[in-house]
Amino acid sequence: MAENTDSIPGMNLNYSKPKIPNNSPNPEEEKKKFEKTKKEIEKLKAFALKKFRYILAFGILPPQSIPKFIEEEEAPKESKDSVHIQLIVPDEKSKEIPKIKQELIKEIEKSKEKVWVHVFTPSEIWEICMDQKFELSSAIAMSYPLYDKGILGALRVSEIHKSLVLQKFEKYVVSYVIGGSLIRGDAVKTSDVDVFVIINDTDVKRMPRRELLERLRGIIYQYVAEATQIAGVKNRLEPQIYLLTDFWDAVKDAHPVMFTFIRDGVPIYDRGTFMPWKALLRMGKLKPSPEAIDMFMSMGDGVISRSKKTLLSEVFTNIFWGVTTPAQAIVMLNGRPPQNAKKELVSEFKKEFLDKNMIEKKYVDFLEKVVKTWAEYEHEKIKEISGSEIDKLLKQTEEFIGRLKELRKEIEKKFQEKTVQQVYDDVMDLLKNILGKKSPESLVQEFEKKYVKESKFTNQHLRILKDIIRTKKEFKKEKADAHKIDRVRKDADILLKDLTEFIQRKELVQLSKGKMILKTKDKKIEIVNAGGKTFLFDGNKIKKVSEKIEETDLPEFEKALGEQKEKEDVEVNSKVFDILKKEYGNFEIVF
């Protein structure tokens, strides 16, 4: 198979020592230099593994990938002639990364070799994939492994298999996504590697879609053995292939596998399909349809009459699905994706409802009993069941389903209340940023007088604002129905969007000199220094930094901006950064 490796685009799978060019002035000298560098890197590896026993992998990045790392500012330009090594450490050791680099740099300085060190956590590698920097993730996967607990091998076999698949029929593949133990961070050298391949069948005309799926599936599975042999690993690749249309239908039907795949999967190839799904799910926009929830809930209806007429196998089947499926529907209604009924449902149900005092413990215990009994039945530990035990199970099932229906009403009311309050608070916060801290009545009056009548906003904006306030009052009196709340929520999106854009546009031209971006682990925050004060723009809120971080409003910010002299140098007190670090943790300043 070795002759095929050179034909895989962008990949050099030959890990033997580099060839010395024929025109080299002194081949023997170059060879000695290479052997010396290799020896020093082996020493460096031994030192690192002894010093930091938790290291997951240690490898050398492919030389041809270095320009891309420099281009993406993952390494400085002066490192272009260096050997780039990478270490992968567990996520929980991310705070140790500066210490690791410092210790390795000391060792490198002793050897006087030109070596550059990269240290990644699995989460940082997944973030690179999420950002669609696939050339970087490919280089990490294809690094020469000097030490590996399993993560590099799993990445490598996935990367090679992906390249073989794309080389054969790239135009049909919309996403190639990795998941399972590799993403959870507990992959070992013998772990199965779960990958998902989504095939675009929307423009198939020459053959039935099923025939296309079977043909592509056959080829994709053929490449598994070839990829494993090239990668030289023991990991077993487990590809799952879906047609795009089938996949989307499964999402709409709230199939737990699809929601888990979107939630946890990481793309190593994507043509603008998977990441939008992931973003929509994270935003709460990718939700099961009301019909799907009703369908899940309805699975419990009639379970008692059916179970009394069935034999042992049918009793357990009906009770298991009749209990776990409505339970999944309630979890989904509470804002969580569907869970695996045998592994995750009980713990998620307990966390969402028992821990929040929304349901009694006996119902969680019953759900756990049903799941455990089903597992014992599947493993043939239960051969028979008495009529009295069946009657007891059926009675408990009836009570459980009845309690879930009550819980559904409670959850729907809670979410309506949360929606109304959230919409109201978001709108009022934005108005306070524009008009200052005033009563709701004053905010409405000034908004109408200063902005609507002066045509900065429309009468529609004013109507939406008054509807939001009116709906909040009606909800407290239990006069607002679900339909009206949903209409107000949709209208509020228009007002929130336009208010936010107005704030962002308002007199921000002057900010370039005193503006910085604070990049934390999970978001970016604008920092503006004006009039000797430091302000933060965190989402829709304006905050200021003094001895601590506190909320402020747009008028105070505008006043400070007006006090800022045009040519005055902007100075930031070092205490400000200490306060920011205390609030947000480690961060990076981007000018």
Residue 165 has pLDDT above 80, yes or no: yes
Residue 137 has pLDDT above 90, yes or no: yes
Question: Which distant-in-sequence residues (6+ apart) come within 8 Å of 481 by Cβ?
Answer: none
Residue 515's φ and ψ, nearest 5 degrees, are: -105, 135
pLDDT of residue 298: 67
- Render pLDDT for 188-203 as a digit per residue (tens, 0 to 9): 888 889 999 998 888 7
pLDDT of residue 310: 55
What is the mean pLDDT of the segment spanning 40-56? Answer: 94
What is the mean pLDDT of the segment spanning 280-299? Answer: 67
Question: Residues 555-562: contacts with CB within 8 Å, 24+ apart?
Answer: 555/435, 555/436, 557/528, 557/530, 558/506, 558/507, 559/531, 560/530, 560/531, 560/532, 560/533, 560/535, 561/507, 561/510, 561/511, 561/530, 561/531, 562/531
At residue 11 the predicted structure's pLDDT band, cuts being 50, 70 and 90, is very low
Higher pLDDT, 552 or 475: 552
pLDDT of residue 117: 94
At residue 554 the predicted structure's pLDDT band, cuts being 50, 70 and 90, is confident
At residue 86 the predicted structure's pLDDT band, cuts being 50, 70 and 90, is very high
pTM: 0.48
At residue 207 the predicted structure's pLDDT band, cuts being 50, 70 and 90, is confident
pLDDT of residue 381: 81
Please provide the DSSP assignment of 199-236 as one string.
Answer: E--TT--SS-HHHHHHHHHHHHHHHHHHHHHHHT--PE
Angle at 73 between CA 71 and CA 76, to 5 degrees: 95
What is the mean pLDDT of the segment spanning 412-420? Answer: 82
Alpha helix ranges (H) inside 360-386: 361-378
150-285 placed in CATH 3.90.1150.10: no
Higher pLDDT, 70 or 521: 70
pLDDT of residue 208: 81
pLDDT of residue 97: 94
Residue 13 has pLDDT above 80, yes or no: no
User: What is the spatial distance between Cα 95 and Cα 117, in angstroms, rounded to a whole number?
Assistant: 16
CB atoms within 10 A of CB 202: 11
Higher pLDDT, 148 or 211: 148
Which candidate, 501, 437, 447, 502, places its Cα nearest to that of 469? Answer: 447
Residue 1 has pLDDT above 50, yes or no: no
10 Å CB burial of residue 507 (0-12, 13-18, 19+) is exposed
What is the mean pLDDT of the segment spanning 252-262? Answer: 77
- Sorted by where each begins, the domain ranges of the chain are 9-148, 150-285, 287-506, 509-590
Question: Which distant-in-sequence residues (6+ apart) come within 8 Å of 217 by Cβ?
Answer: 241
User: What is the spatial distance between Cα 553 and Cα 432, in angstroms, rounded to a whole number?
Assistant: 6
Higher pLDDT, 417 or 404: 404
Residue 16 has pLDDT above 50, yes or no: no
**% residues pLDDT > 90 (the chain):** 30
Among 332-346, 445-459, 525-539, the range with the most confident prediction by mean pLDDT is 445-459
Residue 121 has pLDDT above 90, yes or no: yes
**% residues pLDDT > 70 (the chain):** 85
Please tell me the least confidently modeled range out of 259-263, 300-304, 436-440, 533-537: 300-304
10 Å CB burial of residue 252 (0-12, 13-18, 19+) is middle
At residue 3 the predicted structure's pLDDT band, cuts being 50, 70 and 90, is very low
Please tell me the least confidently modeled range out of 210-224, 528-542, 567-581: 567-581
Residue 556 has pLDDT above 80, yes or no: yes
What is the mean pLDDT of the segment spanning 150-158? Answer: 94
- Render pLDDT for 308-328 as a digit per residue (tens, 0 to 9): 445 667 778 888 889 999 998
Assigned token pair, 249: 């239908």
pLDDT of residue 37: 84
User: What is the spatial distance between Cα 23 and Cα 302, in angstroms, rounded to a whole number?
Assistant: 83
Residue 9 has pLDDT above 50, yes or no: no
pLDDT of residue 528: 83
Decide: 300 and 325 in contact? Cβ < 8 Å: yes
pLDDT of residue 572: 64
pLDDT of residue 515: 75
Please tell me the least confidently modeled range out of 40-49, 185-194, 345-354, 461-470: 185-194
Decide: 564 and 453 in contact? Cβ < 8 Å: no
User: What is the spatial distance between Cα 124 and Cα 4, in angstroms, rounded to a whole number?
Assistant: 31
pLDDT of residue 337: 78
If you average pLDDT over every residue of the chain, what do you get?
Answer: 82
Residue 508 has pLDDT above 60, yes or no: no
What is the mean pLDDT of the segment spanning 403-418? Answer: 86
pLDDT of residue 307: 54
